[in-house]
Chains A and B, each alone.
Chain A
Amino acid sequence: MSRSAFGRLHPAVSLTVGASIVCLAFLTRDPLCALLLAAGVLAFNGELFGASFALKRLLLFLTLALAGGVTNPLISHRGVTILFYLGDGAITAESALYGAVSGALLADVILWCEALYRALPSGAALWLTGRLLPRTTLVFTMAIRFVPRLATRLREARAAQRPFHTQERLRHAVVALQTGVALTLEESCEIAAGMEERGYGKGKITSYSLYRFRGRDGWMTGAVLILDALALTGFLTGALHFSYYPGLLPGTGSPAWYVFPLALAFLPAIAERKEKMLWRFSRSKT
């Protein structure tokens, strides 16, 4: 089982949160949003794997933001606040900020995907596809297993046939490939027969999952979806909009709108923290 409390939530919840955050990182251009998302993932990493792990991630974030901030003004000369001239090109503050925010958002996407990958159990993604396409998911997981099987057979054939082909190395490789593929294919037939004996292909199949959708999962998914909707409204009404060119122009709405992306970004970290507190309190009661 995943050691992350967030990862132990029902995949419906954790995947909705994860997808919302990554979508947010793709949609927004807002510097504050970029920072909030980074802060959220660093806190999440810190809760899960400790401060030094989170610091390394922070370094990556800063590097990408810096790289964006330096390279973009060299390429794009748009913007009105000219800082200085490099050769014939004007280096503008708008272009630099735009680059830095783009770099930061790219880092956000990478870091969130990494954190989700580490925190969510491998079955979470399969739960989703298994719901929608049980048969395809099964074929997919089996196809993945086929590759290491073939590799093992190839390796065995190469090792066993080596003394017979001391001079002809190319021929050795080709022959070993032949044997390996033949054996793997033959095995596949047997695997197929075994599957059929266990009822595969005889009718409608269901997809079992270890997860049980509880009431708590229901209202959490609901809460996340409401947060999503509010954040989206923020973008559409321009409250969370940020435009760089020609001059910097922040959103027009009240700063209160930032509460929604903030809540989304910190949800996983809060889930971890809450679980730790829960444990501590329940211990102190006994």
Chain B
Amino acid sequence: MAINPEFIGRTYPPTPVYFVGREKIREFATALGDTASCYFEVDAARALGYPDLIAPPTFAVVFTMKAGEQVVLDPELALDYTRVVHGEQKFVHQRPIFAGDQLTSSVSVDSIRSAAGNDMIMVKAQVHSTSGELVSTVYSLLVSRGVEEPT
């Protein structure tokens, strides 16, 4: 069933604050097998001009994926989440995320289109610091696979 395009622009309330911790940055980089010193050593990050450890470029998924569940589980959109797969991902960074950042994510439905029996919903999460600075914008394309075979 095609999703009603009237849902484009639908917004959700900002998430609770996510506090970016040094150990979470280290854990995430370790899980990626990435040993870059600016993810582990504060002095190395400061040598690059940053106030504290910086997070890897894809770190924001740690909190934006959960924020995006507001769309996946929205009863009015009525997505069958067992048929939803992750199609595309995009990060636009105004600056790196730093350890010590306190961030909220404001999620909206950026676009909806249908192709080959699948519904494609672009979920946009704007990540702001608690002082109101836009830090990153994160786009995730959710593909809801159609039940019928495409003709």
Partners in one complex: no
